[in-house]
Amino acid sequence: MTFSDYRVAVVTGATSGVGRGAIDLFLSKGLTVHAIARDESRLAELAGKGVITHALNVRDTAALTRELAGVEADIVLNSAGVSRAGNILSSSAEDLDDLVEVNLTAVMQILRLLYPGMVERDRGHVLNISSIAGHYNFFGHTAYHATKAAVHQLSRQLRNDAMGKRVRVTELSPGRIETEIFSRNLGGTPETDAEAWATYYEGFESLTVDDVVAAIEFAVDAPSHVNIGLVELMPTFQVPGGLTFDRRDQDAALQGAK
Ligand SMILES: NC(=O)c1ccc[n+]([C@@H]2O[C@H](COP(=O)([O-])OP(=O)(O)OC[C@H]3O[C@@H](n4cnc5c(N)ncnc54)[C@H](OP(=O)(O)O)[C@@H]3O)[C@@H](O)[C@H]2O)c1
């Protein structure tokens, strides 16, 4: 199966980052694109390009159910995602709800609504954006890691649910990508954009949205008998691994260093 076999794409996280980049790809392939996000002015820009827009919070299952009724999706890209600074020690109740409901529950609700149609029509491709946080342990928000690990397992399990059908599932697991996600953690203002850029991107060769979109194109354009199940993309200079061991005797360590 290639792009020419598909007619309709549904994209979450449509107004920024990976989702926004993928919309340009899908439009260039002649697909009808449904875009889901909250920012109405950015959605209006997409509408100007012929995209069908759905302004909603993906945590609102009733709105998702209403807006996606009757949509026969061939491609579903689940890109909407949030992260948080800190970890479970500093988390608010709202942080946990947002992380779980945006990163995981919404993905499952969207699939509940659109996946049965793909299976019935014997045609479709789900692309879920997880993260290296779902595969490796490193310092970051514990709940974010947990949601992304769940997206990994969900992506695997979807393959069983469509057994015998020409429905493919690809998990894309990126390392750091240059997007707005870190600025949003800091407040999502022009000032935090600059702060996030200086902290997370300046001086690093991170992935770009185009890098991830190229992987999406590769996965969708694979022949129909090929399911590219998992694509891990990392910046060359970002490496997972390392084992942390908190030394108890700090004084002895300092003495030894003298
Ligand atoms: N950037 C990275 O370094 C990185 C690394 C690994 C994985 N990822 C994953 O990649 C995916 C895309 O992230 P990104 O970096 O492209 O992020 P981004 O630039 O911050 O974009 C996030 C998108 O999600 C939408 N969104 C967030 N909360 C929403 C909600 N409650 N309801 C509806 N839409 C919502 C936002 O739209 P509105 O604000 O308009 O609603 C926006 O379009 C995420 O799943 C993220 O976890 C990112």
Contact 216, 25 (CB under 8 A): yes
Give the predicted TM-score (pTM) of the model: 0.96
Is the CB of 109 within 6 Å of ligand 1?
A: no
- The pLDDT tens digits for 33-59 are 999 999 999 999 999 999 999 999 999
Residue in 11, 18, 98 to alter for ligand 1 test, most ligand atoms within 8 A of Cβ: 18
User: Which domains are delineated in the chain?
Assistant: 3-257 (3.40.50.720)
Q: pLDDT at residue 210 above 70? A: yes
Burial bucket for residue 195 (CB in 10 Å: 0-12, 13-18, 19+): middle
Contact 107, 96 (CB under 8 A): no
Task: Choose the weakest-confidence range: 47-61, 64-78, 182-196, 238-252.
Answer: 238-252
Strands (E), 71-193: 75-78, 124-129, 167-174
**Sheet containing 32-37, strands listed edge to edge, beginning at the edge strand earlier in sequence:** 52-55, 32-37, 8-12, 75-78, 124-129, 167-174, 230-233
Å from CA of 224 to ligand 1 middle: 29
With b for 16 or more beta-carbon neighbours within 10 A and e for fewer, the 29-45 pattern comes to bebbbbbbbbeeebbee
Is the CB of 38 within 6 Å of ligand 1?
A: yes
Q: pLDDT at residue 252 above 80? A: no
Is the CB of 37 within 6 Å of ligand 1?
A: yes
Q: What is the mean pLDDT of residues 70-76?
A: 98
Q: Which of 136, 144, 200, 201 is catalytic?
A: 144
Residue 2's pLDDT is: 82
Structure tokens given for 204: 């690093």
With b for 16 or more beta-carbon neighbours within 10 A and e for fewer, the 113-148 pattern comes to bbbebbbeeebbbbbbbbbbbbbbeeebbbbbbbbb
Q: pLDDT at residue 83 above 80? A: yes
Q: What is the mean pLDDT of residues 249-258?
A: 63
Å from CA of 82 to ligand 1 middle: 5
Helix then strand then coil, % of the chain, to nearest 5? 45, 15, 40
Residue 123's pLDDT is: 97
Whether 201 is catalytic is: no
